[in-house]
C-alpha cells in the first residue's frame, strides 16, 4: 500500500467522524482508534496545546486515567520537542533519545518504538499526534506520511472546535507571550499605534478533505500554469537585471516552478484525499521542517525561495490574490510587508493607515518618499517581521527610536501615549506658526513649498500656508490608475490642482516612470530591454522623449489646464542640455498647435530642470539663460554621487546627506546659478545670465530634515520644497537661524572638512538652542 492509499483510507473514515454530531472529545476518541487500527498501532495519542502546555487529550493504548492529566511543556519530553521544533520524530527505542521523559500515569513503560508529528495551523504547532508499539522498530515512510497528512486534517477539526490556545510559534499563549521589541531602520520618523495587518493576508485553509480528487488535481494544474506564466513574465520584465543577483533569483524561481518533483509531491497529497490548498500546504510543511534542519545559509535561502513560490501557488489556487488594501482597513492599522511599491501604498485608506513595518526598505526608496508625504511613519529592515508579528497583534511603532513593540505592556502603552501626546503638542505648536513668515533672524525670507502628487494633497497647501507646490509628481496619477490616463483626465487633474493652488505657484514635473515606478499597463514602454540598474536606465525624460506620444499628451494637457495662468514645467533626470531642449521642443510644438486652434494659452510658461544627474552641473552655466528655475533632487543625486543603489537596503546606512562631498557639490551648484563659481566657468555664467534671474531650490527629502535644512541654508539655498508635515518644524528652524553665522560656519567646515560634519553641525546647533531633530 502506498502512503497516499494509507492516508486516503484513514481520511475517508475521518471524514465520516468529522461530519458526525459527536462532540469534539468524542470525535478525537474515535480519531485515535481509527488511526491506531489503520496503522496497526497499539498506541495512538493526541496532545493539544492548552494554557501553554501540551495536554493528553485522547488516547488508544495508554491509561485512560491519564487523559487531561498528563501535561508537558513545549520542549519537554519527546512530545514537547516535536511541538517546539515543529519536527517529526521516528524512534525504534524511545528511551534512548536525550529528551525522553517517562510519565508513570500513562502506563507507557512497555512501549519501545515511538513516532510523532506536529499538528500545525498557520505555521504554528497546536498539538502533537503520536503512535507507539511494544516491538522496537522504526516506522515506515508511508506510515509517517499518513500521520502527517492526518495531522493536517486534525488541525482543522481542533481549530474549529476551539480546543487549543491562541498560541505562537513557541507554543506560548497570548498571555504568556507578552511584550517583544523589534529593531529596524528609521525610514520615516514618527510615532504610531494600531493593530498589525499583513499587506498580503495569510491564506487560511478552511477545507482539507477533498470531495472530488480529480477536480482538485485540475485546480492545481491550472494554478501551476498561471504561476509559471507569471514567473516567465518576471524573468523577461525590464525591471530585473541580467547577469546579476536578480537573474539568479529568478532562475531559481523558474527552476522550482518547473520542478516535476514538487508537482508530484502535491499530486500525491491530493491522491491521499486532500484539497488542492491542503495538498500545497502539506508539502510546504515538509519543506519548512527541512528548512529548520539546514545549516548551509545558501541552501536555506533557496528553500526560502521555494516557500515564497509555494505561497504564490497557494494564493492562485485559492483565488486570494488581492492585498489588504482591496478588502479595506477596519481600524488603526500598522501595515506589515516584506516590501512595498509606491503605488501599493497609495491604495490604502489614509484615515486608518498609521504606520508601516517592512522587512526590507531603504531610506530613499520611492515608497518611503510617498509615505513621508502621507505623514506615515515607516520602520524598515525588521528581520523576520512577518514571522514574529501575528495578524491583529497590537503594535507601537516608534520611528524615533527605530523599533516596534509587539503586544506592549500596559506601562509601555502609558509611556508611549505620553510621548505621543507630547508629539501632538509639538505639532500643534508648529501649526500655530501657520501665519508666521519664515524669516531668519537677520531678516531673510525663505521660501517654503510643499511636494504633492495627488489632488487629495492640495488641502495641505492651505493647512500649512506654504508658498506653493515646489514639486507636483504627475506620475502619481499614472501609478494609481489601471490604464494610461487619457488626456482629458490629465487636463482635469492639472486644472483642479491649479484651481486649488489659487495664486500660489505649482511646479509640475513631467512624468517620471520607470525604475521602481513601473506600470503594469506600460510594460512595453522600455522596448523590451533589460536593465542592471533601473534607476540609471530607461526612465523619466529619457523614456518620455523616446515615447514622444506620452510627453505630447501630457504637454497638451498641461498647456490646456493652465489657460490664462502661469505654467511651471520641470523636466526630470536631465543629464545634458539637448535633453532639456528636446523636451521643451515638444511643448513648443503643442503650444503652436493650440495657438492655431485658437485655444486660450498660459499667460507665461516657465521651464526648469531637476538637477539629479551630476553631469548636468558641468554644463549648467551654459543652460541658465534658457531656464527659469533649477530644482535639486537630492534623492537620486545622492545615490549617483555616492555610487550607491538607493533601493539596496544593505547600502541604506551609507547615505548621509551631510557628507562633505555632497555639501561641496551643492555649494558649487549654488555658486553656478548665482554666477559666482569663480574661474572661467563662473565668468561665463555671469556674462550669460546678465539681468536674467534663475531661481534655485531643493525639492528632495533632504530639505525636510532640520539639520540638513540648516546646512542647506548655510550654503545659500533659499527655497525648500518639502513634505507638508515638515513645514512647521522647518519654519521654526528658519526663525532661529542667522544666515551670516551659519554661512561662515559651513564655509569653514567645507574648506577643511572635519571627520564628522554631522556631529559638528549638531554641536553648533545645540550651542544656539536649535533642536537638530
pLDDT at 215: 92
Q: Which three cell numbers stand for residue 16?
A: 465520516
pLDDT at 408: 93
- The residue among 145, 124, 146 whose CA lies nearest residue 204 is 124
Angstrom distance (rounded) from CA 498 to CA 511: 17
pLDDT at 239: 36
Q: Which three cell numbers stand for residue 426?
A: 509639538
pLDDT at 228: 83
pLDDT at 523: 53
Q: Which three cell numbers stand for residue 64?
A: 485512560
pLDDT at 529: 42
What three-state secondary structure class fits 764?
helix
pLDDT at 427: 82
- The residue among 351, 366, 338 whose CA lies nearest residue 451 is 366
Angstrom distance (rounded) from CA 727 to CA 342: 22
Q: Give me the torsion for CA of 310, 313, 315, 321, rounded to 10°.
A: 120
pLDDT at 413: 92
pLDDT at 237: 45
Given a contact cutoff of 8 angstroms between Cβ atoms, the answer to whether 195 and 413 are in contact is: no
- Give the rounded distance of the alpha carbon of 595 from its chain centre: 47
Q: Which three cell numbers stand for residue 636?
A: 537620486
Phi, psi of 280, rounded to the nearest 5 degrees: -65, -45
pLDDT at 240: 35
Per residue in 276-303, is it b (16+ CB within 10 Å) or e — as a string?
A: bbbbbbbbbbeebbebeeeeeeeeeebb
pLDDT at 45: 96
How confident is the chain (773 residues) per 10-residue block, as mean pLDDT? 66 75 86 88 93 92 95 93 90 92 91 92 85 91 84 81 60 58 89 91 75 90 86 53 46 68 85 86 74 53 63 82 79 89 78 91 72 86 84 91 92 91 86 93 96 87 95 84 82 95 96 63 47 59 79 95 97 93 95 95 97 94 95 89 70 77 96 73 54 85 93 97 92 96 97 94 94 81
* Whole-Å CA distances, 165 to 43, 168, 173, 418: 25, 9, 6, 33
pLDDT at 182: 93
Given a contact cutoff of 8 angstroms between Cβ atoms, the answer to whether 731 and 699 are in contact is: no
pLDDT at 662: 94
pLDDT at 528: 40
Amino acid at each position: 500500500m502506498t502512503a497516499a492509499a494509507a492516508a486516503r483510507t484513514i481520511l475517508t473514515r475521518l471524514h465520516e467522524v468529522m461530519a458526525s454530531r459527536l462532540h469534539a472529545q468524542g470525535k478525537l476518541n474515535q480519531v485515535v482508534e481509527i488511526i491506531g487500527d489503520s496503522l496497526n498501532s497499539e498506541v495512538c495519542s493526541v496532545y493539544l496545546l492548552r494554557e501553554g502546555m501540551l495536554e493528553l487529550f485522547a488516547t488508544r493504548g495508554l491509561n485512560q486515567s491519564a487523559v487531561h492529566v498528563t501535561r508537558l511543556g513545549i520542549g519537554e519530553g519527546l512530545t514537547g520537542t516535536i511541538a517546539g521544533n515543529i519536527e517529526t520524530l521516528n524512534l525504534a527505542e524511545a528511551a534512548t533519545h536525550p529528551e525522553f521523559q517517562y510519565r508513570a500515569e500513562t502506563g507507557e513503560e512497555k512501549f519501545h518504538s515511538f513516532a510523532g508529528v506536529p499538528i500545525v495551523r498557520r505555521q504554528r504547532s497546536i498539538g502533537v499526534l503520536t503512535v507507539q508499539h511494544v516491538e522496537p522498530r522504526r516506522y515506515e515512510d508511508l506510515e509517517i506520511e499518513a500521520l502527517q497528512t492526518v495531522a493536517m486534517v486534525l488541525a482543522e477539526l481542533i481549530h474549529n472546535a476551539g480546543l487549543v490556545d491562541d498560541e505562537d510559534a513557541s507554543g506560548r499563549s497570548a498571555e504568556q507571550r507578552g511584550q517583544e521589541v523589534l529593531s529596524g531602520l528609521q525610514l520615516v520618523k514618527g510615532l504610531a499605534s494600531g493593530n498589525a495587518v499583513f499587506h498580503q493576508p495569510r491564506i487560511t485553509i478552511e477545507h482539507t478533505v477533498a470531495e472530488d480528487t480529480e477536480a482538485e488535481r485540475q485546480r492545481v494544474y491550472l494554478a501551476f500554469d498561471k504561476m509559471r506564466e507569471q514567473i516567465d513574465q518576471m524573468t523577461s520584465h525590464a525591471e530585473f537585471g541580467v547577469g546579476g543577483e536578480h537573474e539568479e533569483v529568478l532562475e531559481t524561481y523558474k527552476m522550482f516552478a518547473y520542478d516535476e518533483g514538487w508537482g508530484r509531491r502535491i499530486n500525491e497529497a491530493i491522491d491521499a484525499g486532500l484539497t488542492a490548498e491542503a495538498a500545497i500546504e502539506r508539502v510546504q510543511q515538509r519543506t519548512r521542517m527541512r528548512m529548520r534542519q539546514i545549516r548551509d545559509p545558501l541552501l536555506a535561502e533557496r528553500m526560502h525561495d521555494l516557500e515564497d513560490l509555494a505561497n504564490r501557488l497557494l494564493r492562485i489556487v485559492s483565488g486570494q490574490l488581492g492585498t489588504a488594501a482591496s478588502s479595506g482597513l477596519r481600524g488603526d492599522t500598522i501595515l506589515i510587508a516584506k516590501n512595498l511599491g509606491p503605488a501599493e501604498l497609495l491604495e490604502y485608506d489614509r484615515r486608518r493607515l498609521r504606520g508601516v513595518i517592512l522587512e526590507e526598505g531603504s531610506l530613499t526608496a520611492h515608497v518611503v518618499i510617498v509615505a513621508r508625504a502621507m505623514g506615515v511613519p515607516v520602520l524598515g529592515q525588521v528581520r523576520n517581521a512577518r514571522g514574529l508579528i501575528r495578524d491583529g497583534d497590537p503594535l507601537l511603532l516608534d520611528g524615533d527610536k527605530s523599533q516596534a513593540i509587539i503586544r506592549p505592556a500596559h506601562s509601555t502603552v502609558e509611556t508611549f501615549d505620553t510621548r505621543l501626546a507630547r508629539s501632538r503638542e509639538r505639532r500643534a505648536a508648529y501649526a500655530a506658526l501657520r501665519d508666521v513668515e519664515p524669516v531668519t533672524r537677520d531678516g531673510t525670507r525663505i521660501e517654503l513649498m510643499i511636494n504633492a502628487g495627488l489632488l487629495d494633497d492640495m488641502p495641505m497647501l492651505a493647512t500649512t500656508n506654504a508658498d506653493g507646490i515646489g514639486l507636483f509628481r504627475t506620475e502619481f496619477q499614472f501609478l494609481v490608475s489601471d490604464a494610461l490616463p487619457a488626456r482629458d483626465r490629465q487636463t482635469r487633474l492639472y486644472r483642479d490642482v491649479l484651481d486649488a493652488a489659487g495664486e500660489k505657484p505649482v511646479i509640475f514635473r513631467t512624468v517620471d516612470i520607470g525604475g521602481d515606478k513601473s506600470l503594469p499597463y506600460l510594460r512595453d514602454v522600455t522596448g523590451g530591454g533589460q536593465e542592471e540598474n533601473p534607476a540609471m536606465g530607461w526612465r523619466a525624460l529619457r523614456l518620455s522623449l523616446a515615447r514622444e506620444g506620452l510627453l505630447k499628451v501630457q504637454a497638451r494637457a498641461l498647456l490646456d489646464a493652465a489657460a490664462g495662468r502661469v505654467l511651471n514645467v520641470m523636466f526630470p533626470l536631465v543629464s545634458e542640455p539637448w535633453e532639456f531642449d528636446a523636451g521643451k521642443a515638444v511643448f513648443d510644438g503643442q503650444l503652436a498647435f493650440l495657438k492655431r486652434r485658437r485655444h486660450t494659452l498660459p499667460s507665461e510658461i516657465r521651464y526648469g530642470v531637476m538637477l539629479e544627474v551630476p553631469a548636468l552641473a558641468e554644463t549648467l552655466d551654459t543652460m541658465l539663460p534658457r531656464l527659469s528655475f533649477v530644482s535639486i533632487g537630492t534623492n537620486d543625486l545622492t545615490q549617483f554621487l555616492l555610487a550607491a543603489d538607493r533601493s539596496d537596503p544593505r547600502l541604506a546606512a551609507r547615505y548621509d546627506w551631510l557628507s562633505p562631498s555632497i555639501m561641496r557639490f551643492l555649494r558649487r551648484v549654488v555658486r553656478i546659478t548665482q554666477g559666482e563659481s569663480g574661474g572661467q566657468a563662473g565668468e561665463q555664467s555671469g556674462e550669460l545670465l546678465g539681468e536674467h534671474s534663475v531661481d534655485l531650490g531643493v525639492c528632495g527629502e533632504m530639505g525636510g530634515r532640520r539639520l540638513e535644512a540648516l546646512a542647506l541654508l548655510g550654503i545659500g539655498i533659499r527655497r525648500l520644497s518639502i513634505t507638508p508635515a515638515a513645514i512647521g518644524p522647518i519654519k521654526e528652524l528658519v526663525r532661529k537661524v542667522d544666515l551670516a553665522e551659519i554661512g561662515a560656519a559651513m564655509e569653514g567646515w567645507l574648506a577643511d572638512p572635519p571627520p564628522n560634519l554631522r556631529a559638528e553641525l549638531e554641536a553648533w546647533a545645540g550651542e544656539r538652542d536649535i533642536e537638530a531633530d
